[in-house]
Amino acid sequence: MGKYDLAKDLFSKVSSMKNQANIYFGLGCIYESYKQIDSALYYFEKANEYGNIYMKKNTYRILSKIKNQEGDRKLALNYAYKCIELSDSIKNQTKTEAVAKVNSLYKYQHTEKENVQLKIDNEKRKIRNYQFALFVVLIIFFSLCYIYVLEKKKKAAIEKEKKIRLLKENQYAESLDCIEYNNKKISYLEELLQQSECQRDNFKKQLVQSQKELLELSNRKILTSQNEKSLLEIAFRKSEVYRLFHETSNNTDTEIQNKDWKELRKEIDTTYSNFTAQLYALYPQISELELHICYLIKISMPVKDIARLVGRSTPAITASRIRLYKKIHGTEGTAEMMDKFIADL
């Protein structure tokens, strides 16, 4: 009885707690265990009043047992039916809650999957944006490089054209054609001198006379230069290296050595006013083989002999001459045009 009183006292002290249904149910169980059925029924009814569906099921189960023990079969059966109904309700509720949990879990997983997919799509979009930005940067970079190369080529072509034009002007200024042109101007100036004599215009006469003397001086310089070039060319054609190359072209037993090419270059540069330097100025990337071809063209070697001396086929030499003309002039040309250019250089 001591434990019973202690339990009863404890339950009485906690009667002010919010979960009164559990307290009433506990008191009912205590009274029921000590066969105080009326008190037990009272507290079970209270527990049933304040309890949830689970509490009501348990109280109906105990009430059914008590009424069955008392012999009240009808009421016991009534409580049993209510207990069964509540059990079914609990099962349905449990199923509903389970379905709700499954649905909630599915929605959560689906949402998480969508979030993951969204993150993946965002990352892909970022990568595509980076790739597009990189593509644009590369396009701009290569466009600028292309424009730079075009501008560089354009400037190089203009510079090359200026060099070619200046070279031709210098060649013309030292040519017989220039002398002929000057002679025509001198004849015209002589007519003006005669007119100034008749008109007694001394100032005009002095001016025309000065122009005439300058042209005559220019012609004398050209003739002197032409004579000097002729003498140098005659001396060159009598040189040992000139004879060596022409004889070797007809003699398969003799081979041209590297020192022979150097000597030929030296003699050509002396005779034709820095011939090699002029070629480099027009085409800085000219190869040693191409230089040798130009040297042999300059000394009037036939194409077949040039091919043998440099160890190439005749078609290869023809192709090299065409390629050289394009590299030097920046325009298409023929092998014969290259030969004439070298001859005039």
CATH number of the CATH domain containing 50: 1.25.40.10
Q: Which amino acid is at 212?
A: K
Residue ending a domain, among 237, 261, 278, is 237
The reply to whether 303 and 256 lie within a common domain is yes
- Mean pLDDT, residues 271-293 taken together: 91
Q: 3-class SS at 345?
A: coil
- Mean pLDDT, residues 133-161 taken together: 85
- Mean pLDDT, residues 327-331 taken together: 88
The reply to whether 271 and 305 lie within a common domain is yes
Asked whether residue 154 is assigned to any structural domain, the reply reads: no
pLDDT of residue 249: 72
* pLDDT band of 277, cuts 50, 70, 90: very high
Domain count, the chain: 3
**Mean pLDDT for the chain?**
83
First-residue to last-residue Cα distance in the chain: 140
* pLDDT band of 265, cuts 50, 70, 90: very high
The reply to whether 228 and 318 lie within a common domain is no
- 195-226 pLDDT, tens digit each: 766 666 677 777 878 888 888 888 888 888 88
Asked whether residue 287 is assigned to any structural domain, the reply reads: yes
- Mean pLDDT, residues 295-319 taken together: 92
Asked whether residue 131 is assigned to any structural domain, the reply reads: no
Asked whether residue 28 is assigned to any structural domain, the reply reads: yes
pLDDT of residue 295: 93
Asked whether residue 123 is assigned to any structural domain, the reply reads: no
Residue ending a domain, among 77, 92, 107, is 92
pLDDT of residue 13: 55
Over pLDDT 90: what percentage of the chain?
A: 22
CA 212 to CA 224: how far, in whole Å? 18
Check whether 116 has a pLDDT greater than 90: no
pLDDT of residue 339: 92
Determine the Cα angle at 280 with ends 275 and 283, to 5°: 125
The reply to whether 47 and 31 lie within a common domain is yes
> How many Cβ atoms from other residues are within 10 Å of residue 197's Cβ?
11
- Mean pLDDT, residues 300-326 taken together: 92
Domain residue limits at 191? 174-237
Comparing CA positions, the residue from 71, 23, 14 lying closest to residue 47 is: 23
The reply to whether 33 and 74 lie within a common domain is yes
- 2-48 pLDDT, tens digit each: 444 555 555 555 554 447 788 888 888 888 888 888 888 888 888 88
The reply to whether 250 and 232 lie within a common domain is no
pLDDT of residue 252: 67
Helices 53-70 and 20-33: crossing angle, nearest 10°? Answer: 20
Residue ending a domain, among 58, 92, 126, is 92
Asked whether residue 246 is assigned to any structural domain, the reply reads: yes
Asked whether residue 298 is assigned to any structural domain, the reply reads: yes
Q: Are residues 308 and 302 in contact, defined by beta-carbon separation less than 8 angstroms?
A: no
The reply to whether 315 and 265 lie within a common domain is yes
Asked whether residue 137 is assigned to any structural domain, the reply reads: no
